[in-house]
């Protein structure tokens, strides 16, 4: 088996031919000279043997010199890879055992590159997670400040205080959920999140969002309305979907002036559930539309410095994790409409 492997090497085959061919020819010439006899025949046999061995030496020298050059070139490429050139590869366009070894080295380099990229992504995810959690905690913290201020003012009835206490508890629960889902947020963009889906009534989900933002909308003199098909349901992860739509409603309130309106509508079609968040705010510049779903994107046309630019990217990632799509229709001065489309799985 080892001899077969050696013979499969094209370079070794060529060396055998270059060495054995001249030796065989020299042997035939020497035999012919021996038949002639005499001193001339002896000299001829000697010269034939000498020429054959010199040719064999030259062939072997050329073979090993070529192998040495190939190894030196491979060593240089390996050193370049170790020095940081991730694109460095060993040229191995021919057949043979040495080229097979070079192929394996190149494959190892690809594996190391993949591992390095994975490590880089892990570091980026960790950094991104801290920013995401910070952004997500802003909404419940703001709500808690409002409820706390209302309770400290003491203007409401006992029932109002109980309501504010209940809402505060809900926001604290939401904060606890966000902290517990730290690793889930880090894995969301990678598609590694395991959604806990169930068939949820949209009316119930939207009622929870309305209770969450109603006090803020009233305090800021903005109209907040929710309406849609009463029987509409959606297979989703309740907490994550509320987080996504809640971010959209929060953004709509952030960019809608006093006296404006934010509308949340939903409807169920034959093959799709559609949820729309529409506001009468300042709108989005056309140059920003292709970029607003990018993390940390900051518009050069906006003077707003609040927020970290994570609301829309997170909402889009959550919607896409549910197999849905997020579309934005907006223009400066006309408000913004965000449409979420979720396909209904066909039952076989």
DSSP sequence for 1-69: -HHHHHHH-HHHHHHHHHHHHHHHHHHHHHHHHHHH-HHHHHHHHHHHHHHHHHHHHHHHHHHHHHHHH
205-251 pLDDT per residue, tens: 999 999 999 999 999 999 999 999 888 899 999 988 998 899 899 88
pLDDT per residue as tens digits for the range 304-315: 544 445 678 878
Q: Is the pTM of this model over 0.75?
A: no
pLDDT per residue as tens digits for the range 111-166:
888 888 888 877 876 776 677 667 667 777 887 888 788 777 777 677 877 887 88
The whole-number pLDDT of residue 223 equals 93
Q: Tell me the sheet residues that pair with 235.
A: 199
Q: What sign does the dihedral 138-172-251-218 (CA atoms) show?
A: negative
> Which has more pLDDT, 265 or 98?
265
Under CATH, which architecture does the 196-348 domain have?
Answer: 2-Layer Sandwich (3.30)
Tens-place pLDDT, residues 37-53 = 556 666 666 676 677 67
């Amino acid at each position: 088996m080892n001899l077969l492997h050696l013979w499969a090497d094209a370079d070794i085959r060529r060396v055998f031919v270059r060495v054995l061919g001249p030796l065989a020819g020299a042997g035939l010439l020497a035999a012919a000279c021996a038949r002639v006899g005499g001193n001339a025949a002896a000299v001829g046999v000697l010269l034939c043997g000498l020429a054959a061995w010199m040719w064999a030496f030259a062939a072997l020298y050329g073979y090993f010199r070529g192998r040495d050059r190939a190894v030196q070139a491979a060593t240089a490429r390996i050193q370049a890879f170790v020095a940081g050139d991730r694109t460095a590869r060993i040229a191995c366009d021919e057949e043979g055992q040495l080229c097979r070894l070079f192929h394996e080295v190149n494959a190892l380099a690809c594996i190391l590159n993949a591992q390095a990229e994975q490590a880089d992504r892990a570091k980026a995810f960790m950094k991104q997670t801290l920013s995401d959690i910070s952004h997500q905690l802003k909404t419940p913290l703001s709500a808690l400040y409002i409820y706390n201020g209302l309770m400290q003012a003491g203007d409401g009835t006992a029932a109002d205080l109980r309501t504010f206490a209940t809402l505060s508890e809900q926001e604290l629960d939401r904060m606890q959920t966000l902290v517990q889902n730290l690793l889930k947020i880090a894995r969301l963009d990678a598609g590694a999140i395991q959604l806990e889906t169930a068939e949820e009534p949209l009316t119930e989900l939207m009622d929870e969002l309305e209770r969450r933002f109603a006090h803020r909308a009233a305090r800021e003199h903005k109209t907040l309305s929710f309406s849609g098909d009463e029987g509409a349901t959606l297979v989703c992860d309740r907490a994550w979907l509320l987080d996504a739509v809640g971010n959209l409603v929060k953004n709509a309130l952030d960019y809608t002036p006093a006296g404006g309106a934010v509308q949340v509508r939903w409807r169920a079609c034959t093959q799709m559930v559609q949820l729309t968040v529409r506001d009468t705010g300042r709108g989005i510049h056309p140059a920003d539309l292709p970029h607003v779903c990018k993390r940390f994107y900051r518009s050069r046309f906006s003077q707003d410095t609040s927020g970290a630019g994570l609301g829309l990217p997170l909402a889009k990632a959550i919607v896409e994790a549910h197999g849905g799509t997020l579309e934005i229709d907006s223009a400066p001065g006309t408000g913004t409409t965000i449409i979420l489309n979720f396909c209904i799985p066909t039952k076989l």
